[in-house]
Amino acid sequence: MNEEQNPQTPRRTTRASLSSTPNPKSCKAKLKLCNKQPLTINDLAYGDESISLDDLISSLPGRRSQISELLRLLGPLDSPMFPVFVYGGASTGKTSTILQIFKHLKRPFVYCSCITCYSPRILFESMLNQLLLHRRNESNRYSSTKRCERPSDFVNFLKEALCNVVDSLKGNMVKSSSKKSSGWARGKMVYLVFDNLELAREWDKSSNILPFLFNLNDILKMPEVGLVFLSNASPDTYYSDTGYVEPVPVYFPDYTEDELRQILMKKQENLKLYSSFLEVVLRPFCRVTRRVDELSTAFSTLYQIYCEPLDDLGIVPSEDMKRKLFTHLQPHIGPSLNETFKVENRLSSEASAKTNKWKGIAKKNGVCESPSEIDFHMSACAKYLLICAFLASRNPATLDASLFDSTGGSNNRKRKRKSSEKSKEKKENAEQELLLKGPGTFPLERLLAIFQCIVSVSECLPDEEAQGDGGLEGESWTNGLLSDVLLELSSLCNANFISKCGSCPLEGANRYRSMVSEAMALKVARSLKFPLAKYLYRG
């Protein structure tokens, strides 16, 4: 047991022997037992499974040239390398390529993603933990081996850790030469992989972390260390004024249509059916996006629709059937092209029975149904307030007086004057400007003023609700209203319908902005029977 506790002696061949056991069940059981075992140096590499170069290339369609380029840069076993900077758009296979290459090479590497490691400290500590084969668990109260916040500390610790690792790797080599050990890490090089490096640009205002990382090769001066950076952004977007050797760039271009087809086809069971499906959808979608993740999520729902008329998913579609399926699918393609985010409706069993019909109709039309009513509860006061905020954001403040005059804006004869061509043009321009500017901000006082006007107007209107409820209603409506309005305002702010803008330092009062769309505001107005369109200023 003593030996086991020493992480530096890679004597145990658990990984290798376990991976070679044919029975996965017993393997699992054993793994559970050895769960608490200390990590060995071999855990730094993909030990248990290996893939050949052919498998590597075929598993990543369209990445042949990048793979060979990377393999060339990494070089043969134990050869020092320049830092590599891999970049390309999102979802172009950068991370999986690198991981698969290391799987193929079986060389030890340390991987850190700047998504998970969201601050320099966590990045440093995560890297050190991996190198020092430290496992954070309950027994050490989930603490890291070293507390490390500054780059200078990190360099010291890193050097130390790397030396250890390289030494043990060398020892490893001696042993592996004598024994056959398929699961062991190969070579004495250690690679440090930094993924999602573009996120590190936003850490800290003192932008010294990136130059530091890029400079790491020079600082360490260890030929046994290879650095690989992965990023969405091209190297031009990183500061490069601090005299480090620029890493060798490797560009991952977007996939072509053919490559996308290959990638998407890989996971499918019924290839024929799926390829006929791709023939229909891939081209239009490729014009919008070439990201594999976006495409696969979009296609997964579309494929379900495509397969809906089929009873047996295993069939090979004939031309006739393809045509039929296409006509079935066609109305859905357009809407889903515009959709970035799809919400799957999961209805409870009783409700689904009811809505099935309705769903069918919606599907026939191929249009996303937008309910004409708001489907969540808002108190009447909040609704009025929402409308007021919308008006205050849309209308210029100078118009308030004429809109909400003593007649409550109920006669709008004044505003219906005929306008000349020139003024029309002017108005168009103004409208465009309004659109570009987005909703305007307004102070609280203006909102309250409009609110008061609107409420008083709507109370006078011969509303059937007001009639039915009698005198008591009006009383409760105005009583203690103001204090409640502010509460409602805060809940509207919480629901992101109204956003608080930064307060003006001179004025000291907060300004607000309405965030609702016109459609939403109209919906709310309709539920109150409030003539919103009458109050809207249209350029």
Partner 1 sequence: MDSPNEHPPTDPLTKNNLQPFFVLHKASKSSESTARSPRKPSKRRLDSSPKVSLNNENMKENLKMEAFRCVWSKIDSSIKDVLRSINADVFDEIGRWVRESFNAICSCRGPVDTSKSSLPYPFVHNGGIVRNLFTGLVFTKNIETVDDILTFAELGLNLKSRGCYVANISSLDFSTKNGIGGCLRAFLRQLLMVDIEAADVSLLVSWYSDHGKYEKPVVVIIEDMERCSGALLSDFVNMLSEWSVKIPIILIAGVATSTDALRNLLTSHALQYLSTSTFFLKSPSERLDAIIEAVLVKNCAGFSVGHKVASFLRNYFLRQDGTVTSFVRALKMAIVQQLSVEPLSFVLKFLVDEGDNKRSCCEDLADMSEELIKHAFELPSYRTYSVNRNNHVELNAMSLCQGLSELQRLQELWRSRLMCLHEAGRYHKVALLDLYLEALDPESYNSRLSNHDRDSAKDKSLLSNNDKLFRLQKAEVTNQVIRKIRDLPAAKLSQLLKSWERLTEGTIEVHEKIIELQSQMVSEDVKSHKAELTDISKRHINRCRLNKEKDACTSNDKAMTLAGQTIRDNMLPIECMPFHELICFKDVDNLQSALIGDPRRRIQIDLLNFYKILKCGCCSNSGGTLSPSMHDTSIMYLLAQEYGDLINLHDWFQSFKVSISSSGKKGLKKLASPKKRKDNTYSQNNSDALIQARFCRAVMELQITGVICVMARCGGVTDELLNQNYVKEATRCHRMVKII
In the complex, minimum distance from the CB of residue 522 to partner 1, in angstroms, rounded to a whole number: 14
Distance CA 318, CA 313 (A): 13
Query: Nearest 5 degrees, angle CA 303-CA 305-CA 309?
Result: 115
In the complex, minimum distance from the CB of residue 406 to partner 1, in angstroms, rounded to a whole number: 6
Distance CA 37, CA 34 (A): 5
In the complex, minimum distance from the CB of residue 242 to partner 1, in angstroms, rounded to a whole number: 27
Choice between 29 and 361, CB closer to partner 1: 29
Give how far Cα 207 sits from Cα of 120, 148, 204, 214, 372, Å. 11, 18, 6, 12, 50
In the complex, minimum distance from the CB of residue 425 to partner 1, in angstroms, rounded to a whole number: 31
Nearest to 213 by CA among 252, 240, 237: 240
Q: Which two tokens stand for residue 81?
A: 């390398």
In the complex, minimum distance from the CB of residue 226 to partner 1, in angstroms, rounded to a whole number: 16
With left for phi above 0 and alpha for psi between -120 and 50, is residue 362 left, alpha or beta?
alpha
In the complex, minimum distance from the CB of residue 505 to partner 1, in angstroms, rounded to a whole number: 10
Type of residue numbered 529: K
Choice between 81 and 447, CB closer to partner 1: 447
In the complex, minimum distance from the CB of residue 318 to partner 1, in angstroms, rounded to a whole number: 29
In the complex, minimum distance from the CB of residue 482 to partner 1, in angstroms, rounded to a whole number: 6
Choice between 374 and 430, CB closer to partner 1: 374
* CB of 128 closer than 8 Å to CB of 146: yes
Choice between 43 and 224, CB closer to partner 1: 43
* CB of 251 closer than 8 Å to CB of 225: no
Residue for token pair 């592996």: 176
In the complex, minimum distance from the CB of residue 539 to partner 1, in angstroms, rounded to a whole number: 25
Choice between 39 and 71, CB closer to partner 1: 39
Torsion of CA 164, 166, 172, 173, to 10 degrees: -160
Choice between 276 and 289, CB closer to partner 1: 289
Nearest to 193 by CA among 270, 95, 112: 112
DSSP letter assigned to residue 44: G
- Helix segments in 34-109, DSSP class H: 53-59, 64-74, 94-105
Choice between 22 and 76, CB closer to partner 1: 22
Burial label for 5, CB within 10 Å (0-12, 13-18, 19+), is exposed
Beta strand pairing call for 109-113 and 225-231? unpaired
Choice between 344 and 421, CB closer to partner 1: 344
DSSP reduced 3-state for 174: helix
Choice between 362 and 509, CB closer to partner 1: 509
Type of residue numbered 332: H
